[in-house]
Amino acid sequence: AQKITQTQPGMFVQEKEAVTLDCTYDTSDQSYGLFWYKQPSSGEMIFLIYQGSYDEQNATEGRYSLNFQKARKSANLVISASQLGDSAMYFCAMSPNSGYALNFGKGTSLLVTP
């Protein structure tokens, strides 16, 4: 069975600062994918970034980067130059090799302050 752990229920960061949201996972699969989603107060889930288990380089998408440490089974999301609009819930998720559904962590609430 797969398990995703997000240990930070809530985080604060000042505007323009960088912030790291933690995610660790547990799986016996050799091939898997890791995802981060953002959920603003409006409720929709917005895909941010994806990392495959065999990707050697850390994924980056604009201000988002994924710090993938396979041996430590961690996939932390780094948001650089935080903006007020980054205030939201953030979910780490994992896709198993042979299955179809995502396993989600419980989420981290990020608040960006002026």
Partner 1 sequence: DVKVTQSSRYLVKRTGEKVFLECVQDMDHENMFWYRQDPGLGLRLIYFSYDVKMKEKGDIPEGYSVSREKKERFSLILESASTNQTSMYLCASSLLIAGLYEQYFGPGTRLTVT
Look at the block and give the residue holding tokens 């790291």: 20
64 near partner 1, judged by CB under 8 A:
no
Piece of the chain touching partner 1 by CB under 8 A; list 12-20, 56-64, 71-79, 91-99: 91-99
Q: According to the binding rule CB under 8 A, does residue 45 interact with partner 1? A: yes
Shortest distance in whole angstroms from residue 27 CB to partner 1? 13
| 74: amino acid identity, one letter | S
Under 8 Å between Cβ of 106 and 58: no
Q: Which amino acid is at 82?
A: S
If one asks whether residue 43 binds partner 1 (CB under 8 A), the answer comes out as yes
Size of the site for partner 1 (CB under 8 A): 24
Contacts of 95 (CB under 8 A, 6+ apart): 32, 33, 34, 35, 101, 102, 103
CB 73 within 8 A of CB 5: no
- Bridge partners, 110 (sequence order): 11, 88
Q: Which of 3, 7, 18, 31 binds partner 1 (CB under 8 A)?
A: 31
Write out the binding residues for partner 1, residues 1-30 only, by CB under 8 A.
Answer: 9
Contact residues for partner 1, defined by CB under 8 A: 9, 31-33, 35, 37, 42-45, 47, 50, 52, 91, 93, 95, 97, 100-102, 104-107
